[in-house]
Amino acid sequence: MTSIAQALRHASERLHASDTPRLDAEVLLMHVLDKPRSHLHAWPEASLDTEQLTRFDMLITQRVAGQPVAYLTGHREFWSLELNVTAHTLIPRPETELLVEQALLRLPADRSLRILDAGTGSGAIALALAHERPRWQVYANDRSPACLEVARHNAVRLGLTNVHFFTGGWCRAVADQSLDALISNPPYIPEQDHHLSEGDVRFEPRRALTAGVDGLDDLKQLAATASRVLRPGGHILLEHGFDQAKNVISLFINNGLIDAGSARDLAGHERVSHARNPG
């Protein structure tokens, strides 16, 4: 019989090409056993039965081939919320939590605000905001019905009733001056970027990643529509690439927005830019 410790050791060796081989192995075994990490550490000599070992080996084989751990387990934690994800949705990333942090910092907590998370995917941003600010009415859209199905399921599972989903692209169906904040993590990778052939992004939906030759196509659309959909004094906050802050700030200014600035992520990159509608 194979013990937990032996299975993890062998899996970690097979996953040597991963940046986090031991972590990947532990997360996948936790998924197979439906147990927390503490169980793996408390019972390293416990044996896996044949079915468990077969399932674990299959998942490790898929991970060796590059499949993202989040797609293999069907979930990913974001803002301390456990979210379901599928191959239709972008995998929520830690750096996107900066977008949530900036929204919470810049918008009043004690008012009943109307917020839009444009291009919501799994619902990560919208659900984090709805969780933190029960008085806010958070709206979230996506072009993909499959993404919206995942996002709605996450909202129901988390018991969040102040988030509302609708099908649509960016702000086309949004009424004039109806939002207190427009928030988005849009596609921003250039179409020919070499990173698209590396790591987890190889398996993620390309439409959620790329935006034209320079990666700015969707950022341009959002910046251009902000002055129409935002109320006077309303905020726009956008995630973007590590080297795109100056371009996004210029887009804000050229579209009549004010008080433009950027916030840095934990790696020191300007990752989120923000501005306000005059008034």
Residue 40 lies in a domain: yes
**pLDDT tens readout for residues 220-231:** 999 999 999 999
Number of domains present in the structure of the chain: 2
Could you tell me if 258 and 203 lie in one domain?
yes
Q: At what angle do helices 145-158 and 124-132 cross, to 10 degrees?
A: 30
Residue 78 lies in a domain: no
Could you tell me if 112 and 52 lie in one domain?
no
Could you tell me if 125 and 237 lie in one domain?
yes
What per-residue confidence (pLDDT) applies to 102? 98
pLDDT over 90 at 115, yes or no: yes
Could you tell me if 104 and 55 lie in one domain?
no
Residue 80 lies in a domain: no
Tokens of 50: 């044949």
Identify the domain boundary among 15, 50, 65: 65
pLDDT over 90 at 200, yes or no: no
Could you tell me if 122 and 243 lie in one domain?
yes
Could you tell me if 119 and 192 lie in one domain?
yes
**Confidence category of residue 198, pLDDT binned at 50, 70, 90:** confident
Could you tell me if 117 and 246 lie in one domain?
yes
At 51, which CATH number? 1.10.8.10
How much of the chain exceeds pLDDT 70, in percent? 100
Residue 77 lies in a domain: no
Domain with 14, as residue range(s), is 2-65
**Confidence category of residue 169, pLDDT binned at 50, 70, 90:** confident
Average pLDDT over residues 15-32: 94
Burial per residue of 31-45, b for 16 or more beta-carbon CB atoms within 10 angstroms, e otherwise: bbbeeeeeebeeeee
Residue 81 lies in a domain: no
SS3 of the chain: the string is CEEHHHHHHHHHHHCCCCCCHHHHHHHHHHHHHCCCHHHHHHCCCCEECHHHHHHHHHHHHHHHCCCCHHHHHCEEEECCEEEECCCCCCCCCHHHHHHHHHHHHHCCCCCCCEEEEECCCCCHHHHHHHHHCCCCEEEEEECCHHHHHHHHHHHHHHCCCCEEEEECCCCCCCCCCCEEEEEECCCCECCCCHHHHCHHHHHCCHHHCECCCCCCHHHHHHHHHHHHHEEEEEEEEEECCCCCHHHHHHHHHHCCCEEEEEEECCCCCEEEEEEECCC
Could you tell me if 45 and 133 lie in one domain?
no
Could you tell me if 51 and 112 lie in one domain?
no
How much of the chain exceeds pLDDT 90, in percent? 87
Could you tell me if 51 and 184 lie in one domain?
no
Q: How far is residue 188 CA from its own chain's centroid?
A: 13
Q: How far is residue 70 CA from its own chain's centroid?
A: 12
pLDDT over 90 at 131, yes or no: yes
**pLDDT tens readout for residues 35-91:** 999 999 999 999 999 999 999 999 999 999 999 999 999 999 999 999 999 999 999
Residue 71 lies in a domain: no
Could you tell me if 110 and 184 lie in one domain?
yes
How are beta strands 230-239 and 270-276 bridged, if at all? antiparallel
What per-residue confidence (pLDDT) applies to 203? 86
Could you tell me if 180 and 258 lie in one domain?
yes
pLDDT over 90 at 20, yes or no: yes
Residue 129 lies in a domain: yes
Residue 189 lies in a domain: yes
What per-residue confidence (pLDDT) applies to 245? 97
At 119, which CATH number? 3.40.50.150
d(CA 234, CA 181) in angstroms, rounded, equals 5
